[in-house]
Amino acid sequence: MLEWSKAMKEIKQKPLEPVYTCVGPEFVLVEEWLAELRQVLAKQTDTMPEQTRFSFDDGDLDEALFACQSLSLFTSTQVVVLSDVWAATGAKGSSKAKYATDALESYLDDPVPQNVLVLTVAADKLDERKKLVKKLKKYSVIDCTVPKEAAGHKTVQAILKRSQISMADDALAELWRRGGSVSRCATEAEKLWTYTKGRTITYDDVRQLVATPAEDNIFEWIDGVVTGNADRSYRALEDLIRTGHDTFSLFGMMVRQLRIMWYAKTLGNKGYSPQQIASEAGAHPYAVQVAQRQASRVKSRDIESLLTVVADAEFAVKSGRRDTDFALDWVVAACLAKVHAHPARRA
Protein backbone atom coordinates (compact mmCIF):
# COMPACT_ATOMS: atom_id res chain seq x y z
CA MET A 1 0.00 0.00 0.00
CA LEU A 2 1.05 3.57 -0.64
CA GLU A 3 1.90 5.37 2.59
CA TRP A 4 -0.58 8.21 3.22
CA SER A 5 1.85 11.15 3.37
CA LYS A 6 3.48 9.92 0.16
CA ALA A 7 0.05 9.67 -1.46
CA MET A 8 -0.64 13.29 -0.48
CA LYS A 9 2.51 14.36 -2.33
CA GLU A 10 2.10 12.13 -5.36
CA ILE A 11 -1.40 13.34 -6.07
CA LYS A 12 0.11 16.77 -6.85
CA GLN A 13 3.08 15.45 -8.79
CA LYS A 14 1.82 12.53 -10.87
CA PRO A 15 -0.99 12.17 -13.42
CA LEU A 16 -4.26 11.29 -11.74
CA GLU A 17 -5.56 7.75 -11.95
CA PRO A 18 -9.19 6.86 -12.72
CA VAL A 19 -9.45 4.62 -9.63
CA TYR A 20 -8.06 4.80 -6.09
CA THR A 21 -8.66 2.63 -3.01
CA CYS A 22 -8.30 3.93 0.56
CA VAL A 23 -7.81 1.14 3.11
CA GLY A 24 -8.02 1.64 6.86
CA PRO A 25 -10.24 2.95 9.67
CA GLU A 26 -8.70 6.45 9.74
CA PHE A 27 -11.62 8.35 8.18
CA VAL A 28 -9.88 11.70 8.67
CA LEU A 29 -6.98 10.55 6.48
CA VAL A 30 -9.48 9.52 3.79
CA GLU A 31 -11.24 12.89 3.95
CA GLU A 32 -7.96 14.83 3.90
CA TRP A 33 -6.84 12.93 0.81
CA LEU A 34 -10.21 13.43 -0.91
CA ALA A 35 -10.03 17.16 -0.22
CA GLU A 36 -6.54 17.28 -1.75
CA LEU A 37 -7.77 15.32 -4.78
CA ARG A 38 -10.56 17.81 -5.40
CA GLN A 39 -8.16 20.74 -5.05
CA VAL A 40 -5.85 19.21 -7.65
CA LEU A 41 -8.77 18.62 -10.01
CA ALA A 42 -10.01 22.17 -9.45
CA LYS A 43 -6.64 23.58 -10.52
CA GLN A 44 -6.61 21.40 -13.60
CA THR A 45 -10.17 22.22 -14.72
CA ASP A 46 -10.70 25.69 -13.13
CA THR A 47 -13.85 24.26 -11.53
CA MET A 48 -14.35 22.45 -8.25
CA PRO A 49 -15.44 18.92 -9.24
CA GLU A 50 -18.67 17.38 -8.02
CA GLN A 51 -18.38 14.69 -5.39
CA THR A 52 -21.04 12.04 -4.90
CA ARG A 53 -21.05 9.30 -2.28
CA PHE A 54 -22.45 5.77 -2.33
CA SER A 55 -22.20 2.71 -0.09
CA PHE A 56 -21.38 -0.68 -1.55
CA ASP A 57 -22.66 -2.38 1.59
CA ASP A 58 -26.03 -0.64 1.17
CA GLY A 59 -26.37 -1.92 -2.40
CA ASP A 60 -25.41 1.30 -4.20
CA LEU A 61 -22.87 -0.22 -6.61
CA ASP A 62 -24.99 0.17 -9.75
CA GLU A 63 -25.74 3.81 -8.92
CA ALA A 64 -22.05 4.52 -8.29
CA LEU A 65 -20.98 2.95 -11.58
CA PHE A 66 -23.71 4.84 -13.42
CA ALA A 67 -22.35 8.08 -11.90
CA CYS A 68 -18.82 7.12 -13.01
CA GLN A 69 -20.03 6.56 -16.57
CA SER A 70 -22.06 9.77 -16.74
CA LEU A 71 -21.02 13.27 -17.70
CA SER A 72 -21.73 16.12 -15.32
CA LEU A 73 -23.70 19.14 -16.53
CA PHE A 74 -21.64 21.43 -14.35
CA THR A 75 -18.05 20.12 -14.29
CA SER A 76 -15.86 18.12 -16.63
CA THR A 77 -14.80 15.70 -13.88
CA GLN A 78 -16.64 13.97 -11.06
CA VAL A 79 -15.30 12.29 -7.92
CA VAL A 80 -17.39 9.23 -7.07
CA VAL A 81 -16.80 7.78 -3.61
CA LEU A 82 -17.92 4.18 -3.03
CA SER A 83 -17.54 3.36 0.66
CA ASP A 84 -17.92 0.17 2.71
CA VAL A 85 -16.43 -2.14 0.07
CA TRP A 86 -16.17 -5.01 2.55
CA ALA A 87 -16.26 -7.51 -0.32
CA ALA A 88 -12.58 -6.66 -0.82
CA THR A 89 -11.71 -7.99 2.63
CA GLY A 90 -11.82 -11.36 4.31
CA ALA A 91 -14.27 -10.15 6.96
CA LYS A 92 -16.96 -12.68 7.82
CA GLY A 93 -20.47 -11.42 7.30
CA SER A 94 -19.20 -8.90 4.76
CA SER A 95 -21.11 -7.73 1.71
CA LYS A 96 -19.69 -10.67 -0.27
CA ALA A 97 -22.71 -12.66 0.83
CA LYS A 98 -25.12 -9.92 -0.24
CA TYR A 99 -23.72 -8.31 -3.38
CA ALA A 100 -21.75 -9.51 -6.40
CA THR A 101 -18.66 -7.65 -7.56
CA ASP A 102 -18.76 -8.62 -11.24
CA ALA A 103 -19.92 -5.20 -12.42
CA LEU A 104 -17.23 -3.45 -10.40
CA GLU A 105 -14.55 -5.80 -11.72
CA SER A 106 -15.67 -5.10 -15.29
CA TYR A 107 -15.49 -1.35 -14.66
CA LEU A 108 -11.96 -1.68 -13.28
CA ASP A 109 -10.91 -3.28 -16.58
CA ASP A 110 -12.03 -0.19 -18.50
CA PRO A 111 -12.70 2.82 -16.22
CA VAL A 112 -13.95 6.16 -17.54
CA PRO A 113 -10.87 8.41 -17.63
CA GLN A 114 -12.77 11.69 -17.15
CA ASN A 115 -14.04 10.73 -13.68
CA VAL A 116 -12.32 9.43 -10.55
CA LEU A 117 -13.70 6.47 -8.59
CA VAL A 118 -12.50 6.26 -4.98
CA LEU A 119 -13.27 3.08 -3.04
CA THR A 120 -12.93 3.01 0.73
CA VAL A 121 -12.99 0.21 3.29
CA ALA A 122 -12.37 0.66 7.01
CA ALA A 123 -10.32 -2.52 7.38
CA ASP A 124 -6.61 -2.88 8.09
CA LYS A 125 -5.95 -4.86 4.91
CA LEU A 126 -7.48 -6.29 1.75
CA ASP A 127 -7.88 -9.97 0.95
CA GLU A 128 -5.10 -10.52 -1.59
CA ARG A 129 -6.66 -13.77 -2.81
CA LYS A 130 -9.73 -12.08 -4.28
CA LYS A 131 -10.05 -11.28 -7.94
CA LEU A 132 -11.51 -7.87 -7.08
CA VAL A 133 -8.47 -6.96 -5.00
CA LYS A 134 -6.04 -8.01 -7.73
CA LYS A 135 -7.82 -5.62 -10.09
CA LEU A 136 -7.88 -2.82 -7.51
CA LYS A 137 -4.11 -3.15 -7.12
CA LYS A 138 -3.60 -2.12 -10.73
CA TYR A 139 -4.28 1.34 -9.35
CA SER A 140 -3.06 3.13 -6.22
CA VAL A 141 -4.08 1.65 -2.88
CA ILE A 142 -3.62 4.22 -0.09
CA ASP A 143 -2.77 3.23 3.47
CA CYS A 144 -5.26 4.88 5.84
CA THR A 145 -4.62 2.55 8.78
CA VAL A 146 -3.72 3.90 12.23
CA PRO A 147 -0.06 5.00 12.08
CA LYS A 148 2.56 4.35 14.74
CA GLU A 149 2.96 6.99 17.41
CA ALA A 150 5.75 9.08 15.87
CA ALA A 151 4.13 9.11 12.44
CA GLY A 152 0.77 9.77 14.07
CA HIS A 153 2.10 12.85 15.87
CA LYS A 154 3.52 14.18 12.62
CA THR A 155 0.29 13.58 10.72
CA VAL A 156 -1.88 15.20 13.39
CA GLN A 157 0.48 18.20 13.47
CA ALA A 158 0.15 18.59 9.69
CA ILE A 159 -3.65 18.41 9.88
CA LEU A 160 -3.77 20.93 12.74
CA LYS A 161 -1.51 23.28 10.81
CA ARG A 162 -3.80 23.16 7.76
CA SER A 163 -6.75 23.85 10.06
CA GLN A 164 -4.83 26.70 11.75
CA ILE A 165 -5.17 25.04 15.16
CA SER A 166 -2.33 25.67 17.60
CA MET A 167 -1.41 23.01 20.15
CA ALA A 168 1.55 22.65 22.51
CA ASP A 169 3.82 19.64 21.97
CA ASP A 170 3.09 18.10 25.37
CA ALA A 171 -0.64 18.59 24.74
CA LEU A 172 -0.36 16.73 21.45
CA ALA A 173 1.53 13.87 23.10
CA GLU A 174 -1.17 13.54 25.76
CA LEU A 175 -3.93 13.82 23.16
CA TRP A 176 -2.40 10.97 21.15
CA ARG A 177 -2.05 8.86 24.29
CA ARG A 178 -5.73 9.34 25.02
CA GLY A 179 -6.98 9.18 21.45
CA GLY A 180 -4.64 6.66 19.86
CA SER A 181 -5.58 7.51 16.27
CA VAL A 182 -5.37 10.43 13.86
CA SER A 183 -9.14 10.57 13.46
CA ARG A 184 -9.86 10.65 17.19
CA CYS A 185 -7.14 13.25 17.81
CA ALA A 186 -8.31 15.51 14.98
CA THR A 187 -11.91 15.32 16.17
CA GLU A 188 -10.96 16.08 19.77
CA ALA A 189 -8.64 18.90 18.66
CA GLU A 190 -11.55 20.67 16.93
CA LYS A 191 -13.58 20.47 20.15
CA LEU A 192 -10.63 21.77 22.17
CA TRP A 193 -10.08 24.61 19.70
CA THR A 194 -13.71 25.68 20.11
CA TYR A 195 -13.39 25.52 23.90
CA THR A 196 -10.17 27.55 23.99
CA LYS A 197 -11.62 30.14 21.58
CA GLY A 198 -8.57 30.08 19.35
CA ARG A 199 -5.73 30.16 21.86
CA THR A 200 -3.01 27.53 21.93
CA ILE A 201 -4.32 24.23 23.33
CA THR A 202 -2.39 23.23 26.45
CA TYR A 203 -1.66 19.99 28.24
CA ASP A 204 -4.13 20.94 30.99
CA ASP A 205 -6.86 21.50 28.38
CA VAL A 206 -6.40 17.96 27.11
CA ARG A 207 -6.33 16.52 30.64
CA GLN A 208 -9.56 18.31 31.57
CA LEU A 209 -11.62 17.83 28.41
CA VAL A 210 -10.57 14.61 26.65
CA ALA A 211 -11.91 11.32 27.98
CA THR A 212 -9.51 9.35 30.15
CA PRO A 213 -8.33 6.05 28.59
CA ALA A 214 -9.47 2.88 30.31
CA GLU A 215 -5.81 2.09 31.03
CA ASP A 216 -5.60 5.12 33.31
CA ASN A 217 -8.26 3.65 35.57
CA ILE A 218 -6.38 0.35 35.61
CA PHE A 219 -3.29 2.32 36.66
CA GLU A 220 -5.41 3.82 39.44
CA TRP A 221 -6.64 0.36 40.47
CA ILE A 222 -3.06 -0.92 40.79
CA ASP A 223 -1.94 2.26 42.58
CA GLY A 224 -4.68 1.66 45.13
CA VAL A 225 -3.56 -1.95 45.60
CA VAL A 226 0.15 -1.23 46.00
CA THR A 227 -0.42 1.78 48.31
CA GLY A 228 -3.12 0.08 50.38
CA ASN A 229 -5.81 2.57 49.30
CA ALA A 230 -8.87 0.36 48.82
CA ASP A 231 -11.24 3.24 48.03
CA ARG A 232 -9.00 4.34 45.17
CA SER A 233 -9.09 0.85 43.66
CA TYR A 234 -12.84 0.51 44.03
CA ARG A 235 -13.53 3.93 42.51
CA ALA A 236 -11.30 3.16 39.52
CA LEU A 237 -13.14 -0.07 38.76
CA GLU A 238 -16.54 1.56 39.27
CA ASP A 239 -15.59 4.27 36.75
CA LEU A 240 -14.72 1.58 34.22
CA ILE A 241 -17.99 -0.26 34.81
CA ARG A 242 -19.94 2.99 34.31
CA THR A 243 -18.27 3.45 30.91
CA GLY A 244 -19.45 0.03 29.76
CA HIS A 245 -16.56 -2.33 30.54
CA ASP A 246 -17.66 -5.77 31.68
CA THR A 247 -16.00 -7.93 34.30
CA PHE A 248 -14.07 -10.11 31.86
CA SER A 249 -12.65 -7.15 29.92
CA LEU A 250 -11.49 -5.69 33.24
CA PHE A 251 -9.80 -8.96 34.16
CA GLY A 252 -7.95 -8.78 30.84
CA MET A 253 -6.80 -5.19 31.41
CA MET A 254 -5.67 -6.00 34.95
CA VAL A 255 -3.61 -8.97 33.79
CA ARG A 256 -2.02 -6.97 30.97
CA GLN A 257 -0.83 -4.17 33.25
CA LEU A 258 0.35 -6.57 35.95
CA ARG A 259 2.41 -8.40 33.33
CA ILE A 260 3.94 -5.10 32.25
CA MET A 261 4.77 -4.46 35.91
CA TRP A 262 6.47 -7.86 36.07
CA TYR A 263 8.53 -7.04 32.98
CA ALA A 264 9.40 -3.62 34.41
CA LYS A 265 10.51 -5.15 37.71
CA THR A 266 12.40 -8.13 36.31
CA LEU A 267 14.05 -6.49 33.30
CA GLY A 268 14.64 -3.22 35.16
CA ASN A 269 16.69 -5.15 37.72
CA LYS A 270 18.78 -6.48 34.83
CA GLY A 271 19.55 -2.97 33.59
CA TYR A 272 17.10 -2.77 30.70
CA SER A 273 16.06 0.74 29.63
CA PRO A 274 12.34 1.71 29.57
CA GLN A 275 12.37 1.54 25.76
CA GLN A 276 13.86 -1.96 25.85
CA ILE A 277 11.28 -3.05 28.40
CA ALA A 278 8.47 -1.61 26.24
CA SER A 279 9.79 -3.55 23.26
CA GLU A 280 10.06 -6.82 25.21
CA ALA A 281 6.61 -6.41 26.79
CA GLY A 282 4.93 -5.21 23.61
CA ALA A 283 3.66 -2.21 25.56
CA HIS A 284 3.40 1.55 25.19
CA PRO A 285 6.34 3.40 26.81
CA TYR A 286 3.92 5.37 29.00
CA ALA A 287 2.44 2.13 30.38
CA VAL A 288 5.98 0.93 31.15
CA GLN A 289 6.80 4.22 32.85
CA VAL A 290 3.76 3.87 35.13
CA ALA A 291 4.49 0.18 35.69
CA GLN A 292 8.05 0.94 36.81
CA ARG A 293 6.79 3.40 39.37
CA GLN A 294 4.20 0.93 40.66
CA ALA A 295 6.59 -2.03 40.63
CA SER A 296 9.08 -0.12 42.79
CA ARG A 297 6.63 -0.48 45.70
CA VAL A 298 6.33 -4.27 45.60
CA LYS A 299 8.42 -7.39 45.16
CA SER A 300 8.38 -9.60 42.07
CA ARG A 301 6.66 -12.39 43.98
CA ASP A 302 3.88 -9.92 44.96
CA ILE A 303 3.22 -9.18 41.29
CA GLU A 304 3.09 -12.91 40.57
CA SER A 305 0.63 -13.33 43.45
CA LEU A 306 -1.61 -10.58 42.05
CA LEU A 307 -1.64 -12.26 38.65
CA THR A 308 -2.69 -15.50 40.35
CA VAL A 309 -5.50 -13.72 42.22
CA VAL A 310 -6.95 -12.24 39.02
CA ALA A 311 -6.61 -15.52 37.11
CA ASP A 312 -8.31 -17.46 39.94
CA ALA A 313 -11.14 -14.90 40.06
CA GLU A 314 -11.73 -15.11 36.33
CA PHE A 315 -11.81 -18.92 36.45
CA ALA A 316 -14.18 -18.86 39.42
CA VAL A 317 -16.62 -16.61 37.55
CA LYS A 318 -16.44 -18.67 34.35
CA SER A 319 -17.02 -21.89 36.27
CA GLY A 320 -19.96 -20.41 38.18
CA ARG A 321 -18.28 -20.61 41.57
CA ARG A 322 -18.26 -16.84 42.08
CA ASP A 323 -20.94 -14.26 41.26
CA THR A 324 -19.94 -11.80 38.53
CA ASP A 325 -21.37 -8.83 40.46
CA PHE A 326 -19.09 -9.41 43.45
CA ALA A 327 -16.01 -10.78 41.70
CA LEU A 328 -14.28 -7.40 41.30
CA ASP A 329 -14.85 -6.48 44.96
CA TRP A 330 -13.31 -9.81 45.92
CA VAL A 331 -10.32 -9.20 43.63
CA VAL A 332 -9.58 -5.83 45.26
CA ALA A 333 -9.78 -7.30 48.76
CA ALA A 334 -7.70 -10.35 47.82
CA CYS A 335 -5.03 -8.26 46.11
CA LEU A 336 -4.76 -5.94 49.10
CA ALA A 337 -4.44 -8.95 51.38
CA LYS A 338 -1.62 -10.34 49.24
CA VAL A 339 0.40 -7.13 49.22
CA HIS A 340 -0.34 -5.75 52.69
CA ALA A 341 -0.37 -7.40 56.07
CA HIS A 342 -3.37 -5.31 57.14
CA PRO A 343 -5.41 -4.49 54.02
CA ALA A 344 -7.71 -1.52 54.00
CA ARG A 345 -11.41 -2.35 54.04
CA ARG A 346 -14.04 -0.91 51.81
CA ALA A 347 -16.17 1.73 53.52
pLDDT tens, position by position, 181-211: 999 999 999 999 999 988 999 999 998 888 7
For 162, the domain range is 149-209
Note whether residue 344 is domain-resident. no
Residue 189 lies in a domain: yes
pLDDT at 106: 96
Q: Which pLDDT does position 136 carry in this prediction?
A: 97
Is residue 346 situated within a structural domain? no
Q: Answer yes or no: do 20 and 109 share one domain.
A: yes
In a domain, 64, yes or no: yes
Residue that terminates a domain, selected from 104, 125, 143:
143
CATH code for position 263: 1.20.272.10
Asked whether residue 347 is domain-assigned, the answer is: no
**Secondary structure E strands in the chain:** 2-3, 19-23, 50-55, 78-83, 116-121, 140-143
Residue type, 254: M
pLDDT digits (tens, 9 = 90+) for 289-300: 888 988 888 888
pLDDT at site 92: 59
Question: What does residue 337 show for φ and ψ, rounded to 5 degrees?
Answer: -65, -35
Query: Tell me, what's the pLDDT at 342?
Result: 44
What pLDDT, on the 0 to 100 scale, is given for residue 131?
94
Euclidean distance between CA atoms 221 and 72, whole angstroms: 60
- Which parts of the chain have pLDDT scores under 70? 72-75, 92-98, 341-347
pLDDT of residue 98: 62
In sign, the C-alpha dihedral spanning 227, 231, 234, 238 is negative
- Do 222 and 294 lie in one domain? The reply is yes
Q: 0.85 cut: is pTM over it?
A: no
Predicted local distance difference test score (pLDDT) of residue 96: 45
